[in-house]
A = this chain, B = another copy of it.
Amino acid sequence: MVDAAIRPAVSDAADTPEGGIDVARVHELLMGTWADTRRQAREMIKDPAFWRDDSLRMDEHRERVLTQLHLLVENGAVHRAFPKRFGGEENNGANIAGFEELVVADPSLQIKSGVQWGLFGSAILQLGTAEHHDKWLPGVMDLSLPGAFAMTEIGHGSDVASVGTTATYDPETEQFVIHTPFRGATKEYLGNAALHGVAATVFAQLITNGVNHGVHCFYVPLRGDDGQDLPGIRREDDGLKGGLNGIDNGRLSFDHVRIPRTNLLNRYGDVAADGTYSSEIDSPGRRFFTMLGTLVQGRVSLDGAASWASALGLHIAITYGSQRRQFDGADGSETVLLDYGKHQRRLLPRLATTYAHIFAHDEFLQKFDGVFSARIDTPQDREDLETLAAALKPLSTWHALDTLQEAREACGGAGFMFENRLVGLRADLDIYATFEGDNNVLLQLVGKRLLTDFARQFKGKDAAALAKYAVGQTAGKVFHGAGLRALGQTVADFGQVARSVELGLREEQQHEMLTERVQQMVADIAGRLRAAGKDRARAEKLFNENQAQLIEAARAHGELLLWEAFTDAVNAIEDARTRTVLTWLRDLFGLSLIEKHLAWHLINGRLSTQRAAAVSRYIDRLCARLRPHALELVQAFGYEPEHVRAPIASGAEQQRQDEARAYYAALEASGEAPVSEKSLRKAQKRS
């Protein structure tokens, strides 16, 4: 029942036929374009002053995080995106990269600094003009001017265009009157609003001369020099949240609060002293989306932070799973958890997905940096960046929650102990799935973009041709043999053994299947939506019926982007052994996607039943092949003890296992070990 023998760890990457991988090279790849900044940030947060202190209650945690924000200022860690004339670096990519790394110190620290410099500060920087910059950016940067970003209201989150707060221009006094006309228009969930904010960037309907010009952003002081809230300002504290309790979220409402006309952040729309409105962007819709688009960096950084949090979770669970043993194996020793097929299945596909997210994030960050540095900044680029953000942020934030939960369960009761990080990270990251854009709403945006791009293909062609195309697509589904024949699988797979079926699931086929799934799903939905013609009510009904599938198509698009980024990264590896292992990991990712959507591939004739049946077996084999490399693959994330800080991943488990095994070995050697009743009975039976 208990294990009396000691054997060395079975799984050593160096003992595999392919040998160990080049961990340093993989680490470089994962760290990406702004590796130096990431390293700098990781070095900085080795200081315990930046660590989450789980013993604090909400109010103490809030104060600690505020102090940590000042530490960030002292360390020059948060000024990379700001103009050089204020001491910044105008380096947008590096700014986000460094910011993301804070998540492993304390997600509250990450998000509160995001509120200050990424939202409040960015609104002034991106939506304001020189005068505003001069006036407020120095205070924003050195944290003498902490502020809130007041966009969301109780009644309007995703639909920002419909916020109820009004900013009505009064030409008599040359002031805007900021007002909350009903309870639902109260600004809600704002970091820095409950306590620390002395000003806010407030989004409100700009009304002048009886015309509503839509949502604009205004700088509104909240607190006077005496530290008291100004007249008409009302704050409420959101109190305890599911996580991120180091941030003082709260509500703000305004009772006819007057601010100078020049407090309108007027880069995209202005009001003259006499109340005349002007904007360089004619279309109110395009103007609105341009303004919101300047704030995309929140989504960028959540994508990176969530991906790296997944990496940390897997570092912990895979380290523990490589040391922890439970239940006797055939050889009499207790089996290491990660040697179980199911345990591999739980953790290794998520490891592969995490790699995909980290690689995709770096490409995303490059795109962001290009647009924000105005190197590549056409309307098309901005639109692509928005779509990329809307596709990747949902997938990575959901992936983080899923991974942290599986990691926690894979560590059993130990995973539930706060000190082991997993439950705390999960709780803090929970909100990432709905803030900075609700994940489902974002994916719907991607879906709509895919539909637009699809329709563009048919521009100039008549409606009949399009209808015919749509019918053709649907036919492909009904006569499901057609797709199969096109791929030539039916004939090729007959009588094939597992090994050769795998050949039909390699890089090229994975890419083909993932790509065609997006195309086909979009074409199918477009075909169904066309039936509405110009009937708006019918169109709404049809859209609603297809909403869940459109979101699925968007997800498929995001998954394709991830797969492509992973493949590009693999192709950048020179060392053959490393490349082999990373190719397995990419295959594990690709095939896990195909397995997840296997029914779709079958129904749409993209996979024969034989090949479909082979997918799961192939995944099992890939898991077994990757298992000896699991530790190397998490080592490549580069986390050091000061980042991990989880006792179960510190080597303590290995020590306990060794101690237990040594105890039984010594007992056995002493000749005083009790005999088990079981073995006595067996012996009796034999005699």
Contact = CB atoms under 8 A, between A and B. Distances in A.
A57 B548 CA distance: 41
Nearest to A540: B330
B676 A214 contact: yes
A161 interface: yes
Interface stretch (A26-34, A117-125, A410-418, A458-466): A410-418
A189 B158 contact: no
A369 interface: no
A540 B663 CA distance: 26
B547 A342 contact: yes
Given A609-B480, A660-B164, A241 B57 contact: no
Interface in A383-412: 401, 405, 408-409, 412
A211 interface: yes
A295 to B, nearest CB: 17
Contacts of A610: 478
A620 to B, nearest CB: 6
A609 B624 CA distance: 32
Interface string A625-639: 000000000000000
B340 A547 contact: yes
A207 interface: yes
Interface string A424-441: 101100110111001110
A404 to B, nearest CB: 11
A124 to B, nearest CB: 24
Contacts of A408: 242, 430
Contact of A659 (B152, B182, B609): B182
Given A413-B431, A613-B603, A678 B285 contact: yes
Given A210-B674, A214-B1, A342-B548, A412 B183 contact: no
Contacts of A207: 674
Contact of A423 (B152, B241, B480, B655): B241
A496 to B, nearest CB: 11
A675 interface: yes
A342 B182 contact: no
A645 interface: no
A598 interface: yes
A330 B536 contact: yes
A181 interface: yes
Interface centre among A2, A283, A431, A624 (most CB of B within 10 A): A2
Contacts of A416: 241-243, 430-431, 434
Contacts of A426: 242
A159 B409 contact: no
B413 A155 contact: no
A660 B284 contact: no
Given A57-B57, A159-B326, A152 B241 contact: no
Contact of A609 (B157, B346, B602): B602
Interface in A536-560: 536-537, 539-540, 544-549, 551
Contact of A612 (B214, B326, B602): B602
A681 to B, nearest CB: 7
A471 interface: no
A681 B282 CA distance: 9
Contact of A1 (B1, B161, B413, B675): B161
Interface string A313-340: 0000000000000111111001000011
A599 interface: yes
Interface centre among A401, A413, A424, A434 (most CB of B within 10 A): A413
Nearest to A535: B330
A341 B549 CA distance: 10
Contact of A603 (B243, B547, B602, B681): B602
Sort A-B residue pairs by CB-CB distance and give the 3 closest, nearest first.
A242-B423, A598-B599, A240-B418
Given A242-B422, A416-B431, A605-B609, 15 more contacts: A54-B240, A156-B326, A182-B659, A184-B659, A214-B678, A238-B417, A241-B418, A242-B427, A341-B548, A342-B548, A413-B431, A415-B434, A480-B609, A599-B602, A603-B613
